[in-house]
Amino acid sequence: MNLYKPFSFFLSASLMMTAAGVCAGASVTAGEAEAALYPKDPPFSLSRLEPSKKAKGYYEPLNEYNIFVNYELGMHCVGFDMNYCCVIPPYNSIQAQAVRSGKGGETPRLLSPFDGLKLYYYTKDNSYSEGNKMRYWSVAKDVDGDGHFDSPGDNMANYVWTHLFIYKDLEGTLPADANETQRLRIGEQIRVRYDSGPSGKPMAGGYMEYADRDGSNVVFTDTLIPAVKNVPLTLTASYIWDALGLPMTAFNDSRRRGTIRSVTESDFQPFQYSAVQLRTTDGKPVLDAQKRIIEYFGTNPVDIPNCYVCHSREGKAARMARDEGLVFSDKEYAYWKSYPDTSEYMARLAESSINILSLHDAHHGTRFLADYKPDAPGNRLGKTGPVNCADCHGDNISGNLQSPRPTATGYKTVKAKPLTEAIHGFHLAIVPMPDAAGRSQACQACHPTHFQDPSMNDDTNPYRVFDRYGKARFSDKDVRESGGGCYVRRDAHSNPDAAPPFFLNEYGKYLLREVSMKDEHGRPVKKMRGLYCTNCHNKIAQTFYHTDDLENAQRLKGKTLRNRTMAEITAVMTGGDLKRFNQLADQKTHGPNEVLKYYTEHKAATLVKNLSAKGLDLKPWNHPEGEAVAYSAVSGGSDWWLSASEPHCADCHIAPFVESMGGDYFPIDQPAKLSLYRYSKAHGDLACQSCHESIHGLYATRYDGPVRTVDLTTHEQALQYSPDGKYAGPVTCAACHTVNAKGVPKELAGTGYENDYWASVTLAHFMRSGDQKLSIEELVEKYPYKESAGIVKKGWK
């Protein structure tokens, strides 16, 4: 068992902060508050707002209703042709929250079905998948394990989900006498309908499901420990409307012509417009004062990993396979080129799939191509059927905690590394692709990199990080200045036009100073370069999580490193070795290759403690006694994609600009730890993603014009709530509240917050579930203005 080292190894007693200690949100003196000299005006005008007739001197909120639309994962890297293999299944959710604004100074209200309303969703110009956009339901796979592909439901769309099950409903109902014969497996007893997600939501549109206080869309799965079964996974957080797991592609209806063989890179539209309408319970659209249907849209990013550039034609992996005498991939390319409508892109995509499976067979002893049929018009892998990577590689993102997956069919399965470790570890060793700074271009090259402008999806685009055969193009430049994809040149963290306040803690200020404001040679720059993927996904973030034992989230009370000085942080993490700390915080591929070691040297966090020497008596991870049970002992996916291994806002941002307390969605998050951003809420039970958008696409996404921009969709999304039609940052108070000239809600009149926009923003982040029910007097007493003003001053940059 891979045991997590005891807390004492990480922290000496002198550095373990207690609830009585100094914290980022501690109250400041009156003198300190007066010295908080920062601009108290908002970074926008109120030019789109109408003066209030009911509340003189105030402005009415922009919209009568707001619907905030997002996708909980922020990006989805998925294939669309499952004839050969499935790394991650298609799965894009549309999530939303709806708010009735507070006209005339009334308090806004989060809407639910109890208001006699429901939400209707659809994706603009993207109403279907299977056919000339996707091969998924038409791909045969033995679901029931009878050795044949001819049973009803024998296809990949059903096969990839069979490790998940329910007993009665999607609310987590577990019978008292639950046993395996009562299980209704997704894909087997509950088949995935054509052009629909595993929960039944169709691509063509429909009504969203509402998750109340405890969340919804709860499915069960089993673990690596035989006695630990029926683990509930809550897929939709509380107070969220959701169209779960749609099989979305990056192709619009109006652009797709011909067969799927004709797809080219110019067909990709990775930032999809997902629209949500407010309707009455009888299905009639709700109209605003101008008799317009109340409808808003959000961004659903979906794209394909770029395996084909290296694994076909003259790519490095394709050449390596030929040198080893592996020729099936060349036969695959030739076969598809024999069809007159097959594009070069699709022929290479098929070639790359066979190349990957060939290399896997040759290097790992598998026999995926043992029955390969180079002349077959379909089912080209024969009796083996297409490969589902999660059959051997545990993967938490799809809820597959067991390795090997017990419902796998068609080939021998083994317990293998977690999927993310296997893929990243291997490729970062073979193709580290350093830029001039040593940062790996592979993150940007392998993950989705298509542009919304179809004319930019070829080698003529100077921002494209690789050429058509996978050769890196920023080896003597800064990869942060490349483009495409769901992060670089898109997210607020990589936006050179981002401006303070950043509300940073000391580590956040360190990254701003030493990474964001320096070029590829380490020289200071005037215009921010921003962060790269490896500045967030690293061992520093994981150690922050491991060392947390929190009592309160929004003030970060308890044991934590997040609000300490850099000297204290480096003392704990690297024994004070600043050079070593720099290697971990800004990972490079040269030298010790910390980008690679982040995956290959990963140690899973403690999930629970077991007090029994002979059986199971499980207690929380921070119980003073018992044997530590690591995530890796329970899940074949270790703790990847869960709170323990994901970066957190609190890594860099000062409290209260941090996530919610964990524990509500165990084992995805844990008590006394911070939850994931996508599960977190603050002001009035509003999800963080409602105001800030999905992670990797946070407002303000970079806007560099309607032609060159990576993601015009999210920029336009932000403008739906903009008080002046120009500001495209996080949603402001003016979207829902009646505000004064400072943009501060009328409810705060007569308090210290009244004339300080940024302090009122801080207050909104302090407020957690239940705080909206407090009177203003109680609220201001709980979160004093002096405290908020001090936080603004401290965290401005």
Q: How much is the average pLDDT of 17-35?
A: 38
Of 372, 359, 265, the residue nearest 319 (C-alpha): 359
Residue 417 binned pLDDT confidence (cut-offs 50, 70, 90) = very high
Q: How much is the average pLDDT of 135-155?
A: 96
Residue 77 binned pLDDT confidence (cut-offs 50, 70, 90) = confident
- In which element (H, E) is residue 545 found? helix 539-547
Spatial separation of the C-alpha atoms in residues 107 and 127, rounded to whole Å: 37
pLDDT of 595 > 90? The answer is yes
Residue 28 binned pLDDT confidence (cut-offs 50, 70, 90) = very low
Using an 8 Å Cβ cutoff, are 40 and 755 in contact?
Answer: yes
Q: Beta-strand (E) ranges in 137-294?
A: 165-166, 184-185, 206-207, 209-211, 216-221, 231-236, 240-246, 271-280
Spatial separation of the C-alpha atoms in residues 347 and 330, rounded to whole Å: 10
Spatial separation of the C-alpha atoms in residues 771 and 763, rounded to whole Å: 11
- Share above pLDDT 70 across residues of the chain, in percent, rounded to a whole number: 95
Spatial separation of the C-alpha atoms in residues 95 and 81, rounded to whole Å: 26
337: how many CB neighbours lie within 10 A of its CB? 16
The dihedral sign for the CA sequence 386, 390, 396, 400:
positive
Q: How much is the average pLDDT of 662-667?
A: 96
Question: What are the Cα distances from residue 8, in Å, to 142, 343, 526, 547, 623?
Answer: 50, 59, 42, 10, 14
Map tokens 């959701």 to a residue. 242
Residue 704 binned pLDDT confidence (cut-offs 50, 70, 90) = confident
The answer for residues whose C-beta is within 8 angstroms of residue 354's C-beta and 6 or more apart is: 84, 328, 329, 331, 332, 369, 372
Higher pLDDT, 384 or 14: 384
Lowest mean pLDDT among 19-23, 303-307, 355-359, 478-482: 19-23
Q: How much is the average pLDDT of 246-258?
A: 96
The full DSSP string for 644-668 is GGS--GGGTB-TTSS--BS-TTTTT
pLDDT of 87 > 50? The answer is yes
Q: Beta-strand (E) ranges in 237-314?
A: 240-246, 271-280, 295-301
Q: Is beta strand 387-388 parallel, antiparallel or unpaired with respect to 85-86?
A: parallel
Tokens of 578: 């600043």
What does the pLDDT read at residue 675?
A: 98
pLDDT per residue as tens digits for the range 324-372 = 999 999 999 999 999 999 999 999 999 999 999 999 999 999 999 999 9
Residue 90 CB-half CA count within 13 A: 31
What does the pLDDT read at residue 709?
A: 79
Tokens of 766: 């302090």
Q: Beta-strand (E) ranges in 37-156?
A: 65-70, 85-86, 92-100, 109-110, 117-123
Average predicted confidence (pLDDT) for the chain: 93
Residue 756 binned pLDDT confidence (cut-offs 50, 70, 90) = very high
The answer for residues whose C-beta is within 8 angstroms of residue 797's C-beta and 6 or more apart is: 500, 501, 502, 504, 509, 512
pLDDT per residue as tens digits for the range 526-581 = 999 999 999 999 999 999 999 999 999 999 999 999 999 999 999 999 999 999 99
Q: Is beta strand 209-211 parallel, antiparallel or unpaired with respect to 206-207?
A: unpaired
Tokens of 249: 């592609």
pLDDT of 18 > 90? The answer is no
Residue 94 binned pLDDT confidence (cut-offs 50, 70, 90) = very high
SS3 123: strand
Using an 8 Å Cβ cutoff, are 299 and 70 in contact?
Answer: yes
pLDDT of 140 > 80? The answer is yes
Question: What are the Cα distances from residue 434, in Å, to 424, 439, 487, 588?
Answer: 15, 5, 18, 8
pLDDT per residue as tens digits for the range 622-641 = 999 999 999 999 999 999 99
The answer for residues whose C-beta is within 8 angstroms of residue 264's C-beta and 6 or more apart is: 343, 344, 345, 346
Q: Which runs of consecutive H residues, i.e. helices, occur in 588-675?
A: 594-600, 631-634
- Between vectors from CA 194 to CA 191 and to CA 197, what angle results, nearest 5°? 70
What does the pLDDT read at residue 45?
A: 98
Map tokens 């789109």 to a residue. 48
Q: How much is the average pLDDT of 215-238?
A: 96
Spatial separation of the C-alpha atoms in residues 271 and 70, rounded to whole Å: 12
Residue 673 binned pLDDT confidence (cut-offs 50, 70, 90) = very high
pLDDT of 486 > 80? The answer is no
Residue 512 binned pLDDT confidence (cut-offs 50, 70, 90) = very high
Q: How much is the average pLDDT of 241-268?
A: 96
What does the pLDDT read at residue 797?
A: 87
Residue 705 binned pLDDT confidence (cut-offs 50, 70, 90) = confident
Listing from the earlier edge strand, what are the strands of the sheet with 606-610? Answer: 618-620, 606-610, 627-630
Tokens of 357: 């499976």
Q: How much is the average pLDDT of 374-391?
A: 95
Tokens of 411: 């080939």
Lowest mean pLDDT among 25-39, 125-139, 292-306: 25-39
Tokens of 756: 């300080």
SS3 606: strand
Using an 8 Å Cβ cutoff, are 706 and 452 in contact?
Answer: no
pLDDT per residue as tens digits for the range 309-321 = 999 999 999 999 9
Tokens of 592: 């010790």
**CA 159 to chain centroid:** 24
Q: Is beta strand 231-236 parallel, antiparallel or unpaired with respect to 206-207?
A: unpaired
The full DSSP string for 722-746 is -SSSS--SSPPGGGTS-B-TTS-BG
Spatial separation of the C-alpha atoms in residues 666 and 522, rounded to whole Å: 41
What does the pLDDT read at residue 655?
A: 98
What does the pLDDT read at residue 400?
A: 97
**Which 8-state DSSP code applies to residue 331?**
H
Tokens of 730: 């996080």
Phi, psi of 762 (to 5 degrees): -60, -40
pLDDT of 74 > 80? The answer is no
Map tokens 């966090």 to a residue. 605
Would you put residue 705 in left (φ > 0), alpha (ψ -120 to 50) or beta?
left
- Cis? peptide before 90, omega within 30° of 0: no
Q: How much is the average pLDDT of 164-168?
A: 97
Phi, psi of 197 (to 5 degrees): -85, 175
- Output the furthest CA–CA distance in the chain (Å, rounded): 81
pTM beyond cutoff 0.95: no
What does the pLDDT read at residue 384?
A: 95
